[in-house]
Amino acid sequence: MSAVIIFTTFGLATALIGKAKGSSFFIWFLVGAVLPLLGLIAVVLYRVEKNEPERRCPRCGHVHKIYVQVCRYCGEDMYLPDPSEVRHPAR
């Protein structure tokens, strides 16, 4: 019985943090309930994807997060981009 309470509590805590960071409540609830402590750590470390700066692949034009180093569509190496090509969704 106490295990159910622990899983539910961790699931809810993880889900609330995940939702606050703009991710899915349901997915993070599952992660938190299945992996009680690990899920909570994961959601705290999880970066807010929609606030990450983006830039466009110079070869194929697909948009990637700034930390992506190789285009997953065409394999183009993407080094540090020109500042004018970086897009900041949060601003």
- Where does this chain bind Zn ion (CB under 5 A)? 57, 59-60, 71, 73-74, 76
Indicate the residue among 44 and 74 with the shorter CB distance to Zn ion: 74
Closest approach of Zn ion to the CB of residue 91, in Å: 25
Distance CA 21, CA 43 (A): 9
Q: How far is the CB of 54 from Zn ion (least distance, A)?
A: 13
Q: Residue 60 or 86: which CB sits closer to Zn ion? A: 60
Say how many C-beta atoms besides its own lie within 10 A of residue 80's C-beta: 9
Which residue in 73, 19, 78 sits closest to 53, CA to CA? 78
Question: Is the CB of 72 or the CB of 88 nearer to Zn ion?
Answer: 72
* Residue 55 Cβ vs Zn ion, minimum distance, rounded to whole Å: 11
Nearer to Zn ion, 12 or 66 (CB): 66
Measured CA to CA, the distance from residue 91 to residue 89 in angstroms comes to 6
**How buried is residue 42: exposed, middle or buried, by Cβ count under 10 Å (0-12/13-18/19+)?**
middle
Find the shortest distance in angstroms from Cβ 84 to Zn ion.
18
Identify the bridge partners of residue 55 per DSSP, sorted by sequence position. 64
